[in-house]
Amino acid sequence: MADQISDVSVSLCSSSKYVTPFRLNYKQDGVEKTWDYIKGHDSIAILLYNKDRDVFPVVKQFRPAVYAAKIKAFTDGQKVDTDKHKGEEGMTLELCAGLMDKDKDVTEMAQAEVLEETGYKVPLENLKKITSFRNEVGVNGALMTLFYAEVTDQMKISSGGGLLDEGEQIEFLELSGKDVMRHMMDENIAKPVAMMFAFTWFFFMKDKEEVHT
Amino acid sequence: MADQISDVSVSLCSSSKYVTPFRLNYKQDGVEKTWDYIKGHDSIAILLYNKDRDVFPVVKQFRPAVYAAKIKAFTDGQKVDTDKHKGEEGMTLELCAGLMDKDKDVTEMAQAEVLEETGYKVPLENLKKITSFRNEVGVNGALMTLFYAEVTDQMKISSGGGLLDEGEQIEFLELSGKDVMRHMMDENIAKPVAMMFAFTWFFFMKDKEEVHT
């Protein structure tokens, strides 16, 4: 799948429920300072491993923020020539992931996200928390919690691909360990570093330490 | 060092040169969509290893965005009780890192950043690029380039700590490998996942592959 992206334009965003800029006014050791940040959203990501076929279910999708960063889409009113900048430039390889809803149980949310995006119905007890961290500490200090889950072919009950009625359009694919290691250091494949950490954890740390349940 | 943070308040930020929200208007397979993102900044991070003493120079600093995320400082006019929420809540452990200036050579920028924050003057030829990735793909698709550099005690020519006249206030510290592994999975220590990936690369992948120069 190479998503067909067309009719791209940029506008300044005066109000947004996803990206609200705030300023922290404070004193540090008595010196007045300010820092601009956004209200981000805590999130979850799930590293999946299908032990029946020794593959890793991951997702590929068009990410407007990555596309915009690559092509420098930062001018109000800018029109983008999509013959020159195809949607492929905004495609990322990622773990199954989603934003956190404070009112829900985090493990249940992880379960729902895996089902939506990959079609695997993982039992709750298979979802193990690895750790949590900040993706980005400069302008968005939100927390990401990383899970690990083993799945089997029997758990695959639907095709996955995200919630189309929520505008999600996600390609589900399964990578071999060899593919993972090859893609990991390939700078031509845009990807979040959280996924890179998750795979190094799987290959090098998983069997050396206790996984929190 | 626990930075003394006081007089904290939150304001909505109508214009900011650091956090400018944009909206991408586009069609995906013919369906009209929008996505809000910010104009982020490409950045560099440098994993340092002092081979004389087998330690890893890293930095600790107050990060307003992390502090705000932890205490939910997302209301215009909000005053924060700093007796209850001390600056410690916003402290992060990080690799030496900085924003990219497009007009400068990336390796020279890495060299300057290391000197500013840690006081080590690393020869350019010691700075090896590991790889590059996206920290965060949802609202900020900016690229981070990760370097690795071996340093020696002889290269330490100043105390580091950032550029005070630019408002930087950074604590420089050196961790043993044992400390690194202990801190890595400790959720009580706020840290970017880029650092976690860098250390897993050092401990598990570094000697297995070619490092790009």
User: Tens digit of pLDDT for each residue in B41-81?
Assistant: 899 999 999 999 999 999 999 999 999 999 999 999 999 99
100-129 in chain A: CB under 8 A from chain B: none
Using the beta-carbon criterion (under 8 Å), do B25 and A7 form an inter-chain contact?
yes
59-98 in chain A: CB under 8 A from chain B: 62-70, 73-74, 76, 87, 90, 92, 94
- Cβ-Cβ contacts under 8 Å, A94 against chain B: 137
DSSP string, A1-56: ----EEEEEEEE-S--SS-EEEEEEEEETTEEEEEEEEE---EEEEEEEETTTTEE
Within a domain: B143: yes
pLDDT at B209: 63
Percentage of chain B beyond pLDDT 70 is 95
Q: How would residue A35 be classed by pLDDT, with cut points 50, 70 and 90?
A: very high
The kind and range of the H/E element at A177 are: helix A177-184
CA dist., res. B187 & res. B206, Å (int): 25
Within a domain: B28: no
pLDDT at A40: 85
Within a domain: A16: no
Shortest CA distance from B197: residue in chain A: A197
pLDDT at B102: 74
Within a domain: A213: no
pLDDT at A84: 95
Q: What is the mean pLDDT of residues B134-155?
A: 95
Q: With contact defined as beta carbons under 8 Å apart, do B144 and B194 qualify? A: yes
Within a domain: A134: yes
Interface confidence: ipTM more than 0.90? yes
- Cβ-Cβ contacts under 8 Å, A187 against chain B: 131-133
Span A101-123, pLDDT tens digits: 778 899 999 999 999 999 999 99
Question: Which of A62-66, A189-193, A204-208 shows the lowest per-residue confidence on average (mean pLDDT)?
Answer: A204-208
pLDDT at A160: 80
Q: Domain residues for B54?
A: 41-207
DSSP string, chain B: ----EEEEEEEE-S--SS-EEEEEEEEETTEEEEEEEEE---EEEEEEEETTTTEEEEEEEE-HHHHHHHHT--STTPEE-TTTS-GGGGEEEE-EEEE--TTS-HHHHHHHHHHHHH-B---GGG-EEEEEEES-SSS---EEEEEEEEE-GGGB-S-----GGGT--EEEEEEEHHHHHHHHT-TTSB-BHHHHHHHHIIIIIGGGSPPB-
Instruction: Return mean pLDDT, chain A.
Output: 91
Is B12 at the interface with chain A, CB within 8 A? Answer: yes
Q: With contact defined as beta carbons under 8 Å apart, do B42 and B142 qualify? A: yes
Of A24, A187, A200, the CB nearest to B10: A24
Residue B52 belongs to domain with CATH number = 3.90.79.10
| For testing contact with chain B, the best of A5, A8, A26, A66 (most B CBs within 10 A) | A26
Span A141-193, pLDDT tens digits: 999 999 999 999 999 999 887 776 666 788 999 999 999 999 999 999 999 99
Q: Calculate the dihedral angle through the C-alpha atoms of B91, B96, B102, B103, rounding to the nearest 10 degrees.
A: 130
Within a domain: A6: no
pLDDT at A70: 95
Within a domain: A142: yes
Q: With contact defined as beta carbons under 8 Å apart, do A37 and B19 qualify? A: yes
Using the beta-carbon criterion (under 8 Å), do B193 and A27 form an inter-chain contact?
no
Using the beta-carbon criterion (under 8 Å), do B29 and A169 form an inter-chain contact?
yes
Q: What is the mean pLDDT of residues A21-48?
A: 94
Which of B138, B143, B124 shows the shortest CA–CA distance to B45? B143
pLDDT at A213: 44
Partners of residue B98 on adjacent β-strands: B44
Within a domain: A11: no
Is residue B132 predicted with pLDDT exceeding 80? yes
Partners of residue A170 on adjacent β-strands: A61
What's the structural domain count of chain B? 1
Q: With contact defined as beta carbons under 8 Å apart, do B59 and B170 qualify? A: yes
Terminal Cα-to-Cα distance of chain B (whole angstroms) = 36
Span B160-200, pLDDT tens digits: 877 766 667 889 999 999 999 999 999 999 999 999 999 99
Span B5-47, pLDDT tens digits: 999 999 988 778 788 899 999 999 999 999 999 988 899 999 9
Q: How would residue B213 be classed by pLDDT, with cut points 50, 70 and 90?
A: very low
CA dist., res. B188 & res. B210, Å (int): 34
pLDDT at A189: 96
CA dist., res. A95 & res. B9, Å (int): 36
Is residue B2 predicted with pLDDT exceeding 70? no
pLDDT at B166: 67
